[in-house]
Amino acid sequence: MSMIVLTGGAGFIGSCLLSVLNQQGITDVLVVDSLGTGSKWKNLLGKSYVDLVSKELFREMMHAPSDAMGEISAVIHMGACSSTTERDADYLFDNNFRYSVEVAEFAMQHNARFIYASSAATYGDGDNGYSDGEFTLRPLNMYGYSKLLFDQWIIEEGLDTKCVGLKFFNVFGPNEYHKESMASMVYKSTLQIRATGKVSLFKSNSSEYADGGQMRDFVYVKDACRTIMQLLEDDTINGVFNLGTGIASSWNDMAAAVFNALGVPPKIEYIDMPAELSHQYQNFTQAEMSKLQKALPELRFGDLNSTIADYVTEHLSSKWMYW
């Protein structure tokens, strides 16, 4: 039987995707990830897969004879360092770019469906817009640059006609608790409200936006996984696409939805933005979704209030924060 390789399969989006694969009866999945010493292992509870191997071991496996791993039907590359504050540029270059090139070449050698995670961080401050047809971009941090480098490599090699890249916007949902400082504000707000009855949001660093009025395109991980599954099943759809909702909401809107889901009166305080974030802070993101909507005409996303309510009530309101 053919196998799916899922890098980052114990991480946030990867483990949620593994859950969806299992729900569809797909268990021949090789998970590539490192569990470390934290509670990331919980994302694999109740899920079925062939084996779990580290990135280092998988790098060795990729250079073995092409028939050593048997038939590979798909490679879904979700594994990366997603920290926007990571300062080790050499590490990000190797982990997010060079390793991704190796994974892409491996997928092509096996004639496997290749889907990979890019990021809205490639757009920088958004001065050039958020069109997934635009790649003359200036990211604000090394994480975004490492993702942009791989998008550009895919296009330069002509692989955008053979695979799918997804520029994820602000994804939130179950299985993100291990991301700590990089977890979504939906998750952090829920914890803050339970602990203090209020939410802390950054004051604005721009006269164009009120405090808490900075905007993001929030997309629920369950909608993101459903989209990935559609792209996995239809290999005639290829290219580098945005994956957001196409609707920007403010941090105040996000917080209000969390308060509403918890049944708690809104109470927001505004705090100073850390200096290390201020120079690389995106005040507005909104995915241009026409390209993906054309490829997947039936594509639909839940609205902010209903998706946050599902996350808070079905996952964060119990001891089971994962899916």
- The whole-number pLDDT of residue 323 equals 76
- From the list 42, 179, 188, 291, the catalytic residue is 179
Q: In angstroms, what CA-CA distances link 132 with 169, 187, 243, 280?
A: 12, 28, 10, 21
- The whole-number pLDDT of residue 280 equals 80
Kindly report, residue by residue over 277-314, the tens digit of the pLDDT: 888 888 999 999 999 999 999 999 999 999 999 999 99
- The whole-number pLDDT of residue 279 equals 81
- Gyration radius from the chain CA atoms: 19
**What residues of the chain score a pLDDT lower than 50?**
none
- The whole-number pLDDT of residue 320 equals 58
Residue 274 DSSP symbol: P
How far is C-alpha 281 from the chain's CA centre? 18
Provide the pairing of β-strand 29-32 with 51-53.
parallel
3-state secondary structure of 202: strand
Residue tagged 């918890």 (tokens):
262
Question: Hey, what's the torsion of the CAs at 118, 302, 204, 268, to 10 degrees?
Answer: -130
Q: Is 180 exposed, middle or buried (0-12, 13-18, 19+ CB in 10 A)?
A: exposed
Give the chain's largest Cα–Cα span: 61
3-state secondary structure of 123: helix
- The whole-number pLDDT of residue 101 equals 98
Residue tagged 């006269």 (tokens):
207
Distance in Å from the first CA to the final CA of the chain:
27
Q: In angstroms, what CA-CA distances link 118 with 145, 152, 281?
A: 10, 11, 18
Provide the pairing of β-strand 249-250 with 215-216.
antiparallel
Domains identified in the chain and CATH numbers: 3-172+218-247+287-302 (3.40.50.720), 177-215+248-283+308-316 (3.90.25)
Kindly report, residue by residue over 160-210, the tens digit of the pLDDT: 999 999 999 999 999 999 998 899 999 999 999 999 999 999 999 999 999
Q: Is 169 exposed, middle or buried (0-12, 13-18, 19+ CB in 10 A)?
A: buried
The tokens of 262 are what?
A: 């918890």
Judge whether 143 counts as a catalytic residue. yes
- Estimate the crossing angle of helix 221-233 against helix 12-23, to 10 degrees: 60
The answer to whether 204 and 283 are in contact (CB under 8 A) is yes
| CB proximity list for 166: less than 8 A, separation 6 or greater | 115, 116, 117, 118, 224, 227, 228, 231, 240, 241, 242, 243
| Residue 134, number of CB atoms within 10 A of its CB | 12
Judge whether 145 counts as a catalytic residue. no
CA distance linking residue 304 with residue 246, whole number of Å: 12
Task: Give the residues across from 215 on adjacent strands.
Answer: 250, 284
- From the list 116, 123, 130, 143, the catalytic residue is 143
- The whole-number pLDDT of residue 68 equals 76
3-state secondary structure of 288: coil
The answer to whether 78 and 9 are in contact (CB under 8 A) is yes
- The whole-number pLDDT of residue 319 equals 59
